[in-house]
Amino acid sequence: LKSIRVCNVFLTDKSKSRLLNSLSDIIPSDWTVFAHHMTIIFGKELPEDMKHMLGREVELTAHKLGKSDMAIAVLVAGFKTLNNKPAHITIAVNTKEGGKPVMGGEITEWVSITPIGLTGIVTEVKSNS
């Protein structure tokens, strides 16, 4: 088993609810809902100049919506992502057809939406794989 490190902005429960309530009419009922984080960096720890942010609450703004056959995501502004362009939150995934959360970042067409203010906590997670 090797340990994989992921740094995220994890949404508060209130923000996750706000996001899902705003988008509930576009999420197919048979898709798997995620809507819980924006990845800052995958596979590495936060750089030294960002470590002070761990555990801090930050504000994000969802401002564009993207859809594909496999995923629905929102683009977010307010905190930088280091290797997960564009900064996004995957909302829901068509897992029955083989969709995976990473596909939210592969969406290429985005439309502007009424901005949705979100709050999250900068976290670092180690998982074994």
Q: Please write the tens of the pLDDT for every residue from 25-75.
A: 999 999 999 999 999 998 888 889 999 999 999 999 999 999 999 999 999
Question: What are the tens digits of pLDDT across the range 65-108?
Answer: 999 999 999 999 999 899 757 999 999 999 999 999 999 999 99
Residue 22 vs residue 129, higher pLDDT:
22
In angstroms, the CA 88 to CA 35 distance is 10
In angstroms, the CA 116 to CA 74 distance is 10
Q: Which is nearest to 99 in space by CA: 59, 63, 72?
A: 72
In angstroms, the CA 16 to CA 35 distance is 6
What letter does residue 9 receive in the DSSP assignment?
A: E
pLDDT at res. 125: 87
What is the percent of the chain with per-residue pLDDT over 70, rounded to a whole number?
Answer: 96
Q: What is the pTM of this model?
A: 0.93
Distances from the Cα of 36 to the Cα of 1, 19, 71, 110, angstroms? 26, 10, 14, 20
What is the percent of the chain with per-residue pLDDT over 90, rounded to a whole number?
Answer: 82
Residue 12 vs residue 3, higher pLDDT:
12
